[in-house]
Amino acid sequence: MSRSRTRTKKRMKYENLIVECRRQWNRFDPIGVIDAADETDDEYHSYATRTAKLLMQGADARKVADYVRKVLHSLGISEIPEEKMLEFAQQLTRHST
């Protein structure tokens, strides 16, 4: 396979992961701002992009959970149980394969 074709496949995978990560972040909705009917809301787009990048780099659920924890901490959210963050991270990693 040519280099440009490989890059194109990786780029498509990355873009698909961003879409799925955004969908998952919107469902997780830790700050409670997403309208359930609007899957296109981009409140969490920057987090979805970073999450997709982590997944493309082969991050496991623990590493993704660490990132989620940092995001929530930066938002001033500390009441979400560790198990829920890990479950969310596991959902995200399932979509990276």
Q: What is the mean pLDDT of residues 16-36?
A: 89
The pLDDT value given to residue 1? 58
37 part of a folded domain: no
Domain that holds residue 58: 3-30+43-94
CA dihedral 73, 58, 54, 81 (to 10 degrees): -20
- Contact assessment for residue 57 and residue 93, using Cβ atoms and an 8 Å cutoff: no
- Both tokens of 72, joined, read 């929530």
- Contact assessment for residue 18 and residue 52, using Cβ atoms and an 8 Å cutoff: yes
CA dihedral 96, 47, 89, 84 (to 10 degrees): -160
82 part of a folded domain: yes
The pLDDT value given to residue 32? 86
35 part of a folded domain: no
pTM assigned to the model: 0.85
Run of H or E including 15: helix 3-28
- Both tokens of 55, joined, read 């997944």
The pLDDT value given to residue 37? 58
36 part of a folded domain: no
38 part of a folded domain: no
In 3-state terms, what secondary structure has residue 68?
helix
23 part of a folded domain: yes
How many structural domains is the chain composed of? 1
Q: What is the mean pLDDT of residues 33-56?
A: 84
